[in-house]
Amino acid sequence: MSSSEFLLPDVGEGLTEAEIVAWKVKAGDTVEINQVLVEIETAKSIVELPSPFAGTVAAVLVEEGQTVDVGTAIISVTTDGAPDDAAPASLGSAAPGPGAQIIADTADSIAHESAAAEEQPGAVLVGYGIKGSVPSRRRQREGAGPAANDAPPAAAAQTASRAPMVPAASAGPVVAKPPIRKLAKDLGVDLTLVNPTGLAGEITREDVVREASQASVFRNIQTPAWGEEREEYIPVKGVRKAIASSMAKSAFSAPHVGLFVDVDATRTMEFVKRLKASPDFAGVKVSPMLIMAKAMIWAVRRNPTVNSTWTDEQIIVHHYVNFGFAAATPRGLVVPNIKDAQELSLRELAQAIENMTNVARDGKLQPADMANGTITVTNIGVFGMDTGTPILNPGEVAIVALGTIKQKPWVVDGEVRPRFVTTLGASFDHRVVDGDVASRFLADVASVIEEPALLLD
């Protein structure tokens, strides 16, 4: 018998500390290699840490809610002999191992994981999919017979998808990840009444949204009552601490200049409608945000300076576009980016944005998903806002705000007609982007919103 300590690893680029959110094991529990031990919160995301050991938990060394430095021992596991050769002695070491790879794999989108699970029923990502003969809680709750329990996971999922979506009270524990529970709380959804569709019987984000009969976690249906306490104290940590630091640094280091333009977006709305009806875009979420993204990528080619980074010593002009978009999630504002977006077709770009948005809302973004962005859009129109003056994402020199698109009176050929109109607001780093370049870039973006056919050039 030997005792091995699990050190808090660096699960991202340059992570120095993380908060212990929730332990999944306790002293005396038997654990297996790759079993989830704990959830931690970094400055950008919640990450599940798998065990590199098989054995018995000797002691939990750090309490929930504590913030500890990378390399700190957080749990002790008693093992039978030396740790398994297939696992690293500690995920806190610099050398990558299978456990570190599993952590990296959790950055994949839920859709990707589900597809992988269907193709390889025996493959398991930490916290996802199925695990050998572990029965689905969903089938248990629905009272499926032995034949259903013996069915392959993919077949069971197909059978479940054909079954009527009838909410039923849970006969056992509700299986849902913390971000999903937070979403349900925000939407006022009772998870015991939700019919789960996850491959292992877990409740998914789509299940919660369906039950709530609305698509947004940010639309308040009722005005909540005041809390019992006169004041509430919220610790500045995690995502909020990272937002405060980066926004303050950006606002007071880069001289911002703002531009605004009203745009007739009627043809964009018609184009979006045609794409939604196209068989080529079946199952893909299409919105004006997609056209906006493509417009900015096109405009960058014509005005490359807006796709740069200022370093004091030099200006780095990027000949690729890591397209960022600000996403408001239950945990705060995050800015993931689509790597090499200039290489993607319109359909591929739509899928990439949708997948990354789902990962962000589920709290599964990894630091790499938000690193090395080159230009960003913030879609404040989804909140009913006409325009704004966005703050630059650190390391970038341009950001565009897409306002709400709504019908307004607009002069066309000397006549006032109802048209779909939006306002684009943009901020630029004046150390890099001069007024003429900024104006040409925003005018190019506006020209595509007015006439999406330019994307065919």
Q: Which residues does the annotation mark as catalytic?
A: 430
What is d(CA 152, CA 138) in angstroms, rounded to the nearest whole number?
A: 14
Residue 202: name the closest of 191, 190, 189, 213 by CA.
191
- At residue 90, the 3 state secondary structure works out as coil
Helix 205-212 vs helix 178-187: angle between axes, to the nearest 10 degrees? Answer: 10
Please name which of 230, 231, 240, 175 lies closest in space to residue 203, comparing C-alpha atoms. Answer: 175
Phi (first) and psi of residue 409, to 5 degrees: -70, 135
Per-residue b or e along 361-379, where b marks 16 or more CB atoms closer than 10 Å to that residue's CB = bbbbbbbebbbebbbbbbb
CA dihedral angle for residue 348, residue 352, residue 353, residue 355, rounded to 10 degrees: 130
CA distance 424 to 401: 6
Determine the Cα–Cα distance for residues 17 and 3; give it in Å rounded to an integer.
Answer: 24
Of the chain, the end-to-end C-alpha distance in Å amounts to: 69
Residue whose C-alpha is closest to residue 327's, from 424, 406, 393, 272: 393
- 50, β-bridge pairs: 36
For residues 34 and 126, is the Cβ–Cβ distance under 8 A? yes
Read off the tokens for 310.
């200022």
Angle at 188 between CA 184 and CA 190, to 5 degrees: 70
Strand partners, 262: 423
Where does residue 290 rank: exposed (0-12), middle (13-18), buried (19+ CB within 10 A)?
buried
Position 19, amino acid = E
The dihedral sign for the CA sequence 367, 373, 377, 378: positive
**H-run or E-run covering 83:** none
Residue with tokens 């405060």: 244
- Extract the tokens encoding 128: 């996802």
